[in-house]
Amino acid sequence: MTMTDRMARDAASMIGNDSGVAAHDVAIVMGSGWSRAAEALGHMRCEFRPTELPGFVAPAVAGHAGRIRSISFGDTDVLAFLGRTHLYENHGVGAVVHSVRVAAAAGCRAIVLTNGCGSLNPDWPPGTPVLIRDHINLTGTSPLVGADFVDLTDLYSAELRELCRNELGGVPEGVYAQLPGPHYETPAEITMLRRMGADLVGMSTALEAIAARAAGMSVVGISLVTNAAAGMGTGALDHQEVIDAGQSAAGRLGEFLTSIVPCVATSGRS
C-alpha cells in the first residue's frame, strides 16, 4: 500500500468513526460558490477541517469553505467536501485528488463533482447549471502513475446524466475544459477552446474525475456558469464575480443537489 493510499484509508477511517457510518453512499465536491448549497442536503452528523484529517491541506481560494461533512439525507449517507485543492496551489496532483480517494475509501460508489466555470456558449449566462458530458484535460498531467490504463469513454456516466436530466428537466450538457490556472484564459485561448469543442472552461474537476473513475466510482459533473469566458462578455474577469454568482444561485443549487443525490445514490448501490 502506498503512502497516498494509506492516508486516504486513515482519513476515511476517522470520518467513519466520528460519523458512525460504515460506508457512505455518495460524495460531493463543492466548487467555487457551491458551498452554501450544502445546507440543503440534510442533517450534518460530523464536520472536519481539512487539516484535521491525513493528507488534506487547507483551501487557499476564496469561495471554498474548507470543511468536510458527513450528512444524513433521507436514507442516503453523503460525504461532502466544501472546497477543494487546485493544481495551481502547487501541492501536487495527489493533493488535488485526495478527497476523491478518501471518498472511495469511505465506501462511496458515486461522486458529484461541481465547479464554477466560464461559459463559451452565449446561450448560457451566469447562474446556468450545466451537466458535464465530457472533458478536455489541458493540465498536462494525470493523477494516475505508471502503467495504469483507465478507460474514460463513459467517464461522466451517461446513465446518471439521463437520470439527472429526467429529474431536473431542461438542464443543458456541455464539454468542460480544465486548464491549470491560476490566470484566466486569453480571448485567443477561448477561441482555440471553442474550436476544440469546449463549452465550459475552468481550473478543476477533470483530474478528480479521472481519479474517481480509476477508483471505480460513477461520476456526475455539474458546472455553474459564473461568468462569460474571456472575449465572450464585455468586462474583465474577476474571482469575486465567481463567488457572487454562486451565492446568488445558492438556493437553486441546493434544490439541484437535493433532486439528483437520490438518483445518484440509487445508481451507485446497483
Catalytic residue positions, numbered: 185
Contact 156, 114 (CB under 8 A): no
Cα–Cα distance between 166 and 56 in angstroms, integer? 36
Compute the Cα dihedral for 29, 237, 207, 134 and give only its sign: positive
Question: What residues contact residue 90 under an 8 Å CB cut-off, 6+ apart?
Answer: none
Query: Angle 183-194-141 (CA atoms, 0-180°, nearest 5)?
Result: 50
91 burial via Cβ count (<10 Å: 0-12, 13-18, 19+): middle
Paired sense of beta strands 76-82 and 26-30, if any? parallel
Distance linking the first and last C-alpha atoms of the chain: 28
Cα–Cα distance between 191 and 230 in angstroms, integer? 9
